[in-house]
A and B are shown apart, each in its own frame.
Chain A
Amino acid sequence: MDEDLKKLTGIVRDLFDEYEGPVTRALSARDVEQWDSLANVQFVVLVEQAFGVRFTSDQVGKFQNVGELLDAVAAKRSAKP
């Protein structure tokens, strides 16, 4: 497992504590009962804090799955001077 996915898995396990399935890039809100729109905001902000990035307000509600979120983290990091 790559390091970013490993770090994000810790957030998923802590925030969505009833979900016991695998955390892969394909994981989405459809798979996790606790992952509703309000929890999504908290999830994305925890990811921002863990990875030291900041998404736009528009981006926050539009990630389709964990893979898209990790790709956006990578894009933000590579855009940093």
Chain B
Amino acid sequence: MIPSAYPSLTRMAERQIVAFPEHRAYLEKRFADTTPDGFAFAEEIAGKVLRIADTDLDRICEDYKWLSGIVLEEELHFRRTGRYRLSTFEEADHEVYSNRPFMTRYMNGLLATQLWWRNHTEILRFFRDRFVAGNPLGFRHLEIGPGHGLFLSLAAGTPNCRAAEGWDISDASIASTRAALKAMGFGPKIGLEKVNLFAAPDAQFDSICFSEVLEHLERPADALAVLLRLLAKNGRVFVNAPVNSPAPDHLYLFRAPEEVEQMVEAAGFAIEDRLFSPCTGATLERARKLKLSISAGVIARKP
């Protein structure tokens, strides 16, 4: 399934299959048409995940299995009703964000999806190769909702990055991101602050990452307006949001990837680039036809 030249990825896949043997066929499909460049990138991410996991790799693999079950339950509701199960932040806070044991397992599972869900890995790569690589020398970077820390590590790890910080509304999430960054070799230079985006301080950044946040909001367009204010002139934003992707805390349903791009444009940004990446095993055409999950990654500039 995975060539021996990629030991971190191989180790992770082996542990995942031990924890979730019935997932073997899916993982084989996941890597079936992976190119050498794709494997090299996945190996880099697997190395980071292994450092974050440390001695908890088996728990992360177990929590990925658990998350897969949770997603199937949400998928059943979505297929029957055409809607996500929750519609308000209050509901999501009650069921997910304030439920510490649930959140821990959820975040562990999501960490593993960065490798096992093809669209997640491809969006990470798009972020590194097309967004971070296009930022100017000395860029000041902000990520809102840095979660597992992988996006933040890819931005802060480039020599062009002068300063990087992350904002989140949850102390638990900040603690988790801090531990992940430390494990990946980043010191305290990356500031992590408890900030509500809608009460953001006056600050200016050249680069903002806003990945998998829009779908958690009741009024996502309002958040994009704040991002525009936080960016310096000619600053760039990376927005990533999933389409037709039911999850326990997803509120806003994007039904097509163009809806994400149009929302970014309507907020006043000039679109530079986009990647619409379908879920494992599907072409973009099939994902559109069957309303399967698609990650919509959009790069835009403040005019």
Contact = CB atoms under 8 A, between A and B. Distances in A.
Contacts of B29: 33, 36
A33 B281 CA distance: 9
A2 to B, nearest CB: 26
Contact of B76 (A33, A34, A60): A60
A58 to B, nearest CB: 11
A17 to B, nearest CB: 8
Contacts of A38: 71-72, 75, 279, 292
B79 interface: yes
Given A36-B281, A45-B76, A60-B76, A15 B290 contact: yes
A41 B290 CA distance: 12
B80 interface: yes
Interface in A19-61: 33-34, 36-38, 41-42, 45, 48, 57, 60-61
Interface in B240-282: 279, 281
B73 interface: yes
Chain B interface mostly: helix
Contacts of B73: 57
A45 B292 CA distance: 14
Interface residues of A, number: 14
Given A41-B79, A57-B76, A36 B25 contact: yes
B186 interface: no
Interface in B62-111: 68, 71-73, 75-76, 79-80
Contacts, number: 32
Contacts of A37: 26, 68, 72
A74 B75 CA distance: 24
Contacts of B72: 37-38, 41, 61
A57 B80 CA distance: 12
Nearest to B291: A42
Contact of B80 (A15, A48, A61): A48
Contacts of B75: 38, 41-42
Contact of A42 (B25, B68, B79, B281): B79
A38 B68 CA distance: 9
A63 to B, nearest CB: 14
B290 A42 contact: yes
Interface-central residue, B26, B29, B79, by most chain A CB under 10 Å: B79
Interface string B275-303: 00001010000100010100000000000
A70 B276 CA distance: 37
B281 A45 contact: no
B26 A36 contact: yes
A29 B286 CA distance: 19
Interface of A: 15, 17, 33-34, 36-38, 41-42, 45, 48, 57, 60-61
Interface of B: 25-26, 29, 68, 71-73, 75-76, 79-80, 279, 281, 286, 290, 292
Given A38-B279, A42-B79, 4 more contacts: A33-B281, A41-B72, A45-B79, A48-B80
